[in-house]
Structures are given as C-alpha cells and as structure tokens.
Amino acid sequence: MAPTIDLAEYLFRRLHEAGAPAVHGVPGDYNLQLLDYIEPAGLSWVGSCNELNSGYAADGYGRMKGIGGLITTSGVGELSALNAIAGAYTERSPLVHIVGTPARGLQQRGAKLHHSLCNGSPDDYSAFAEMCSKITQLQENLVDASIALSQIDRAIISCVKHRRPVYIQLPADMVEAKVSAADLSKPLDFSVEDNNERIEKDVAEAVLKMYQSN
C-alpha cells in the first residue's frame, strides 16, 4: 500500500519546498489543529498580536524571501488581514494565505457558528472567499481529498509565478485527511515558458511602425 500523509502536512511541506521560511499568524479555533504541522514541515511559526500584523509580516517575507506564509481563522481572522493582502496584491508580493474553516458538514448545513455571518445559509461560508477573490490571484477550497493535492500545487505555483497572494481554505475535518505522499517526490514546476519569438518580433515591428508614423 502506498504511504500516506495528512493533508495539512502535504500543504506545509509544499510551502517549505517553495522557499517559505516561516508562517505568520494568529491561533484561532478553526486553525489550531493546523498549527501542529508547521514546524515539523521545516517552517518557523511566528505568532502575532493580530492578523493585520501577521499579514504585513508575511508580505515582507514575500518581498524579501520570495514567498510568505499566513494563517488565520475563518471569518473574523481572515477579514482582519485584508488590508495587508490587498497591499501584497497591489505590490506583487507572493504570499500564501491559509484559512482554517469549520468542518464541511457544518458549512453545508449553514450552521450558525461564531465568526460566521449567522444567516443560516451555506453561503455564509463562501462569502469570505468571494471577498478575497478580488485581491488574490487564486482561491482554493480543500474539500475533496482526491483533488486537494493538485489544488495546493496549483495555488503555490500560481503564487510564485504571478507574485501575488493566493487563498487556501482548509476545513477542520480535512486537516487529517489521508493523501498520497508520493506526490512530494515530484518537484513543484515554477518554470516560465519562453516568449514566442515570432509574436515578439511582430509586436516589436508594430510598435516601431506606430512610433515612426508619429
């Protein structure tokens, strides 16, 4: 039988592979379990007094180290970091924002939990991702173990290539979901395709023609 690991371990090991030296954040009830996986993955945990400070610190690491890591709890935690995330998006600072969310069943029932909008609708739990969609390059919600690894890889690669924040939600009941460890042997592909020389030449000629016509 192929070896397996917890989904949270895969996430943080991939973040470490991408070059992140640390994860900044504030503990909260929906991300507490996640915190146990940070240091075993080779990352340092840097706690802050509030999420906004954590966001700015992760932004700084993104600029100086090539990628930053931020972890918050669902709702109040993630919303408190939005100014920092928006700044990182504007300044093209790559950071991965990980949000611990309530268990999938609770979200599907629209359970009225603290930190939620308390409308009694499943939409309560998608609203925060929608808010973040305008200031992050990509948003992923890890609700299905069969595709979660590709979602994680896609998000981290997108973060590095586009140099902008990405947003990953991880429900509490998915933290220990068993996934294949084999994918960790496949390095993340950060390569950038070469420019198409023909198109590049055509564009250069068009720009030169416009310039000369003036």
Per-run averaged pLDDT (10 residues), the chain, 214 residues? 90 98 97 97 98 98 97 96 98 98 90 80 86 97 98 98 98 97 94 76 83 80
**Interatomic CA distance for residues 159 and 104, integer angstroms:** 26
CATH of the domain at 187: 3.40.50.970
- For tokens 């400070």, the residue is 53
Residue 2 confidence (pLDDT): 67
pLDDT value, residue 1:
56
- What is the count of structural domains for the chain? 1
Its domain, for residue 129, covers 4-213
pLDDT score for 115 = 78
